[in-house]
Amino acid sequence: MRTSISTLLKLYQNGEKFTVLTCYDAIFSRLLEACGVDVLLVGDSLGNVVQGEDTTLPVTLDHMIYHTRCVARGAEKAFIMTDMPFGTAQLSPERAFENACQIMAAGAQMVKIEGGHIMTDTTQFLTQRGIPVCAHIGLTPQSIHQLGGYKIQGNTEITANRLIDEAKVLEKSGAAMLLMELVPAPLAKQITATVSIPTIGIGAGADCTAQVLVLYDMLGLYQGNKAKFIKDFMVESSNIQDAVRNYVKAVKTGQFPDKIHEF
């Protein structure tokens, strides 16, 4: 039986952490779920690690549909979440719904949408029509040029309060999960305690409900800039399967991320 939102919410309500890794193909989707990964994120990070792009901006809807189909074919149990790529959710709630329908038809069980206050209407529109949404705040890579680079978010009182408010309004708009990227650990802890939906952290400390890493970062394969929050689990593992199992164990037991991997 495939993992559902209800399954993940039950883990959250029981105070248990769950694990997320990005995934882009059938072979890895089969391997990751066999090693205990709960959620496979078909991330637009494929632009960086698969296509060799500098940003996620060139990734298209067709790319995401194709890779979602690949992942869905390989996995029988893991929950599948897919990013809505740049330009597919921002124009209007109606257009976002049309695009999200194609992603869901390809095998996703949830879409992830970057943005705070500006995406509340879209989040509400989609969730009211049966499409689950994971909101994404903090560093939003699709806005990288506006943000001026890959920088920590919420490190001033004003920006921290804005992120807290965004988390609240996105939950109120129907978001079933909240991903926080490059957020100071104390702030992420506060937001996790404030909302009543699971939070997923990447560079957001250990107190989130779940953790996510880009698969190729976790395996030490990506040769780009090594962010502070990344841990190479291959270093102490004899093979890929062991590395994934060690990641799953470290997240579920609260050993990852530790202090050296948070802000």
Q: Which residues are catalytic?
A: 181
**Strand, helix or coil at 250?**
helix
Q: Closest Cα partner for 236 from 247, 228, 225? A: 247
Contact 98, 92 (CB under 8 A): no
Distance from chain centroid for Cα 153: 16
Residues in CB range of 171: below 8 A, 6 or more apart:
135, 178, 195, 196, 197
**Strand, helix or coil at 130?**
coil
150: phi then psi, degrees, rounded to nearest 5: -85, 90
Tokens matching residue 59: 């990734």
Tokens matching residue 211: 């953790």
Residue type, 78: A
